[in-house]
Structure 1
Amino acid sequence: MSFKSLGLSDTLLKAISKKGYTTPSPIQEKAIPPVLEGKDVLASAQTGTGKTAGFTLPLLHILSETPKEKYRPIRALILTPTRELAAQVYANVKEYSEFLNLRSAVIFGGVNQKPQAATIRQGIDVLVATPGRLLDLQNQGLLSLKRVEIFVLDEADRMLDMGFLRDIERVIKSMPEKRQNLMFSATFSKDIKKLAHGILNHPVQVEATPENTTVDAISQKVYRVAKGLKTELIIKLISEGNWKQVLVFTRTKHGANKLCEKMSKSGITAAAIHGNKSQGARTKALAGFKNGSVRVLVATDIAARGLDIPLLPHVINFELPNISEDYVHRIGRTGRAGASGEALSLVSADETTFLRDIEKLIEMKLPVEIVEGFEPDPNASTEPVKQGQGRQNRNTRNSNSSRGSNTSSSDKKTNSRRPKRNTDRRH
């Protein structure tokens, strides 16, 4: 199977070839044809499967086939949950449309809105956006969605997790009823199917991999350790292994900052990325991690999706997530595009329940290792760590439009009257 056989234009094939791609991934092979036929699509694909090209390529093909107006209204809207994912999707749109007469833009909170508004005012065909900034600019009369022909909801499950349901509904009401809809999600949960039923019209359902499965190329291991010894153990593993590029996940913003400080004092260059960091700081940290000047990137779950780091060799769960599906998304940052990767989890006694739930979800028992001198505390309680937002509240969180970890000043304006909740786990 080749990209040409999927029915894409020669101009797009030229851009694909320039990027060095020759064969479509399974999700691209399954999603591109029905999108080109103008059908609504509901697609399930894990991160690292090439899903972004699965909707951007046919979208660009469709737009390039129709005549341009003198003033360019927004004809395609791609909605993403996080700034990082928005930036990555936009980068892909730019690359694939290099030889097309199409204009695109990306908007998200955390940065000055004036340049974004100015770009839109000049006329664009494709807009990539996060919900908060999109609604802000729309409320100010700086953009219109009345001419949207294609709507893409990317990482739909993450959208629900982060409380964007009401915003999605508001965006949908702003668009024409007659349009093509594409929805991409890592899982087909009941909430996702319910959301899809309200948006999609007789959709073609495609699936690249079984739900909630972990990539075969990822080597997974658990280190049982006393809670107070986790920091020393992770520093030992990174130092003695001479690991150069490590993505570490913590549950809280404070925990990420604290771990970064400890690593820096031990001679390991580290940077944190989470919701309290400015967009500039987040961009700088990610750039440093990619170019090798930052050895360890410590992140909260906001970074579990949308980070495009080629050939990332190591992911470490400094703390296990209390939502099992997040484990799959976290470790999915490694083992991408056929490369091998390693995912390690430091598990203390109070995370025993989380580990059991994760193993049940992925249907496998994870191998356990104990490092001498870092043994687990035999007297520690196995009661789960207390979180402001636990597993039992997931459905409530899905329907609650209070912001998740991607909150910016512009996001907050659209949500000022909604009840606040503890979102520390997601930051």
Structure 2
Amino acid sequence: MFKVIPSIKSKKLQLLFLCFLSALSYGMDLDTAISEYEKKSYTTKINEANLKTYDIKDKVLKKGSWNEVTISSQNTYENSHTYDGISTDNTVKYGLFYYKNTYNITNNEMTENKIGVSKVLNDFSKNGDDKYNLKINNIQRDIQKITNETTKNSEIRELIDLYKNYKSKEKEMEQEALSLDDKKKDYAIQAKKYEVGTAAKYDFDLAKTEYETSQLKYENLERELKILKEKFMIYNVTIPENEKLEDIKKVELKNEDFYKLRLSEAEKIELNESLNSEKLKKETYDYKVPKVTADAGYSIKNKSFTVGVGITKTFKQYNDTLEDLKNESEKLKLEYEQKKNEILSNVGQEMLNYTTYQTNELISKKNMDIAKENYVIYAKKYELGADTYENYVEKRNAYNKAVIDYEVAKNELAAYTRKIKYYK
């Protein structure tokens, strides 16, 4: 007359066994997952490489002109009424020092053979190129540190959300396993009653549908949990096999915790202001002060000393670079003031979010307790024949949903309290 659909074998037994193992020894907790991410993630390695770029540049800038030897050579052919021939000019420069010679190939004669020193005197100023470039590199490094921290914190928040979703899905799967076992028993009872004529076909069909639906849902939850577990690979975090993740430990937040949020966004604008300020000072200095180059040399060929000073000055009808930097300075000041207001407003919003998560947890806990009471009452009524099977099923499903809703709300609150410190 009817056929009982085979269930997933020993689901409840497997569940109890896993619960027993997890009770003896939990696996990874959230702190361990975050620590593993910070040590192994590609983002951590990329961030290190980002900062190394500025360390490399810093070494070069500190060496300045002593970092390289420059060799240049130029051949010249001249044809005039006094001379027709080829000569070659050769220069070797290292730091302040240079060696220069000119050789007349046609006449096989050295026409110049000189050693000397040459230096742009502006470099001795606090606005000189070497000091300026070091300042700019240091500020850019600090900006990169904030960018690195922002990227890392964003991924840690995503990791916490993934952990939270995994725990909620895990609980949903455990609850469904218990529900599946109950529905399997119900189906067997209703099938037997229907066979002997003591149960309505509607109750039999309802029990069958509930059981089959629960089977499908459990199998789908298994797949969903597997997908969530695989997502941990994105962060180079490995979940131990056959071990249960520990619950997220909620922390109590204080008002001062909220006032620290997103301060790095304002700090980054301040650093950009410093960067722009250095550029503005440099551009103003270079425009107002002429470039002065001093040179002293000794001619080996002529056995004589030479001293020279070169001056270079550029005049512009309109210095667009200077005006752009001034405009950028005004814009950054406005952005900083805007960001301060935004951060202050965000403090109130996050405090409200915290209260909302706390309220949701309390409400869902009360809803679960009420749903449990209703379920127990209707289960007893149904057992005594004082109410319908349909009402009993409805209350049981409502209780199962309330259990899961409470777990989700509890995990949402706990995850929020852990994510706060990563909103710097």
Which TM bucket (shorter chain)?
A: under 0.3
Query: Could you say which structure has the higher helix fraction?
Result: 2
TM-score (norm 2): 0.20
TM-score (norm 1): 0.20
